[in-house]
Homo-oligomer: A and B are copies of this chain.
């Protein structure tokens, strides 16, 4: 059922299997008149794709974005924007080794249990390759947000036991300055060393990513179910391998007193501000004007080059053996995906705000 679409007013729907003909996305509800071309989307896809560095897989997928609709003479028309990435060479492989096996930590068994039929090639619909559509749509969202002075920025803040010290004022350039996408150079080196060691040991390692949105005006987010925090939680937890979500003080709040947790409010140049940001930029699920800060946990890559005990489709004991190369740590490539999901939530809520609370009406626009 309609589980492949997301957003209320700026709405996306993704399609495609890992090794099928194409993966892509339809964006419905994009404001008209935005300058847009494949060149706006390609850099984000390049950040997402494998084979970027020694800590990501060596597979080469060109991931070339094509805009099939919704853009005319370089401008969005307000109608659905379909963006597709065609898989050029995927069909010829031999899948006999995994065809009948349920790999541990993968969705093989659960898809089988749900549908009875599944595309076993490279994980099919459950593959992280599905995120191509999210990242493409996120690139459009980011461009719309930039017009409002809003930026989303993510970075690797933890790999195994290596945790980045708390940092403010991280820039995109710092994030992109190293392969692990950690803005702190010292920590980045330690993370890289750990990832290389893990890979050598034919293993993988868990990680965490922090995401920040700057410039979000106060007032975005709906009461009750479509709170900004709730939509961010759904958006990010829906990404493969994400096992946890927190914002502001997050799980650390469970140990805190109210007197230390509440952020004192004050006024600065007429704006209401808070002296600290344990609320992560959201109160009652509505943006406060402070930076929105969230964190997600990523499990270690399920595909590891070791034999693992499992069962096959006939419920017999079997051994799963991963072929091909896989990222030993998911955080670096998650960064652009997380930014995209955050941007998609924010643009949706910005348009929703405009509908309900914007200036009076068409006649006045």
Contact = CB atoms under 8 A, between A and B. Distances in A.
Most interface-central of A15, A105, A229, A248 (chain B CB within 10 A): A15
A42 to B, nearest CB: 17
Interface stretch (A172-180, A182-190, A258-266): A258-266
A365 B358 contact: yes
Contact of A272 (B21, B109, B111): B109
A105 B258 contact: yes
A140 interface: no
Interface string A236-259: 111010111111111111111111
A245 B237 contact: yes
A309 B263 CA distance: 9
B253 A243 contact: yes
A102 to B, nearest CB: 6
Contacts of A219: 110, 113-115, 362
B257 A15 contact: no
Main secondary structure of the interface of A (DSSP, over half): mixed
Contact of A356 (B23, B29, B113, B309): B29
Contact of A147 (B82, B304, B361): B361
Contacts of A68: 15-16, 20-22, 24, 84
Most interface-central of A23, A121, A238, A363 (chain B CB within 10 A): A238
Interface in A68-94: 68-70, 72-73, 75-82, 84
Contacts of A70: 15, 17
A126 interface: yes
Nearest to A331: B254
Contact of A316 (B221, B232, B267, B303): B267
A30 B204 CA distance: 36
B259 A72 contact: no
A145 B222 CA distance: 23
B297 A254 contact: yes
* Total identical chains: 4
A161 B287 CA distance: 29
B13 A5 contact: yes
A277 B126 CA distance: 20
Interface string A181-225: 000000000000000001000011111100000000111111111
Contacts of A102: 265, 272
Interface stretch (A48-56, A57-65, A346-354): A346-354
A284 interface: yes
A14 interface: yes
Given A80-B14, A258-B302, A265-B309, A246 B2 contact: no
Contacts of A76: 117
A115 B222 contact: no
A46 interface: no
Contact of A28 (B1, B244, B248): B1
A149 B31 CA distance: 25
Nearest 5 CB-CB pairs, A to B?
A107-B284, A3-B222, A244-B246, A3-B226, A204-B258
